[in-house]
Amino acid sequence: MNSSEVVVAGLGGLGSGAFYHLARRGVSVVGLERFGLAHDRGSSHGESRMIRKAYIEHPDYIPLVLRAFDLWDELQKESGKHLLYRLPLVLCGTPDSDAVRGSLLAAERYNVDIQSLSREEVSRRFPGLNLPPGMEAVLEQDAGCLMVEDCVAAHVQRGKAHGGDASFGEALLDWTEHPGHVQIRTTRGVREAKCLILTAGAWSSRVTKNLPVPLSVVRKSQVWFPAAGPEYAAGSGAPAFYFELDTGIFYGFPSFDGSTCKVACHSGGEPVADPLQLDRELHSEDVAPLTDFLARCLPGVGSDPVKHSICMYTHSPDHHFVIDRLPGSQRVLFAGGFSGHGFKFASVLGEALADLATTGSTRLPVEFLSINRPGLQAE
């Protein structure tokens, strides 16, 4: 029987972060991944992910994201790969929207450096953007873009360099907790570990026994459109953008290749019954909301898709993460329900999971993500 101190089930964004931090500490760790390295079958792919400090979802995320920035910088230096591109971010909405009001409140609480911009100021400073009447914006000058596949690969590769064992093409089937260890059954046999960390993304409900949190998985499309003008070029200072509109929440990035920019809709999504059967084709109903948004807010971007990537969000009931031990368990940790805004935290939550797996506690402020928080568990 293969034995290790820790097994991490799932080497996507969060799992790769935990794998790296455990290996860096000299812990005997095995990472299981049913697909390949930095694959495109889950939630951590599609070139880019936004990272920002003015966190509108909940101000308690801000101390975590500040630590995440530092850890991404460290990983970038250690790996020699350009993982984090610093760039401005413009968050747009009505004055009472979460995008504007929430950013201002979060920034005030944690002294995040942001700037309020009028509709006219946005047009003058960022000519590629057009705010509809009645909207204003908040500018975070020092936000960033994480190159998602490169980040996952760097965490795994550096984890292996520190002594971790990454097993690709090996899926978790079942596990049983015993006094002193967890027995883990996979598609390749039986393993044993002192601690099991479940970071299975869209597969979380399938591999997590007695999970008291109802998770829902939805299909999301990311689409690249023609954007050759300098007003959309990252190298010319074009920003990432986040629009809270009456038709949904849309976001995207400037062009890194000089010819296309990525746009997606954060809200909505079709339910996914089986992640292995995810529809990966791009349909007209995927594109229509995006082209409507482009015509309204990024009029210089073309409307014919150049390429696309389909991923999944795994939502918790309150759209906040769950980082905790499973109820009644001493040796099984769960991380899931990242609800479409978790990747930026893969570095810092990987560190928190490594703490919990090795010492039973962490100094990182993750208590608000407890599995026992009010209103989260199924009745």
Q: What is the pLDDT of residues 67-98, one digit of tens each?
A: 999 999 999 999 999 999 999 999 999 999 99
Judge contact between 114 and 159, C-beta under 8 A: no
Q: Is a pLDDT exceeding 90 seen at residue 30?
A: yes
Closest CA to 338 of 8, 15, 35, 6: 15
306 within 8 A of 226, measured Cβ to Cβ: yes
Nearest partner of 193 among 326, 32, 364, judged by Cα: 32
The pLDDT of residue 375:
79
In eight-state DSSP terms, residue 101 is I
Residue 12 CA to residue 167 CA, distance in Å, equals 13
DSSP string, 188-222: TEEEEEEEEEE--GGGHHHH-TT--S--EEEEEEE
Residue-wise pLDDT for 98-152, tens only, equals 999 999 988 888 889 999 999 999 999 999 999 999 999 999 999 999 999 999 9
Cα–Cα distance between 240 and 23 in angstroms, integer? 34
Dihedral sign for Cα atoms in the order 24, 335, 198, 333:
positive
- Predicted local distance difference test score (pLDDT) of residue 1: 67
Task: Give start and end residues of each alpha helix (H) in 127-207.
Answer: 148-161, 204-207
Please give the biggest Cα pair distance in the chain: 66
For residues 293-305, give the mean pLDDT.
98
List pLDDT tens digits, range 229-244: 999 999 999 999 999 9
Burial of 60 (0-12, 13-18, 19+ CB in 10 A): middle
- Residue 171 three-state SS: coil
> What does the alpha-carbon distance between residue 321 and residue 336 come to, in Å, rounded to a whole number?
6
How confident is residue 2, by pLDDT bands cut at 50, 70 and 90? confident
Q: What is the pLDDT of residue 89?
A: 98
CATH class for the domain made up of 87-146+216-314: alpha beta
Q: How far apart are CA 224 and CA 234, in angstroms?
A: 15
2-43+150-211+318-369: CATH topology is FAD/NAD(P)-binding domain (3.50.50)
Above 80 in pLDDT, residue 159? Answer: yes
- Identify residue 4 by its one-letter amino acid code: S
pLDDT at 221 over 80: yes
**Boundaries of every domain in the chain:** 2-43+150-211+318-369, 87-146+216-314
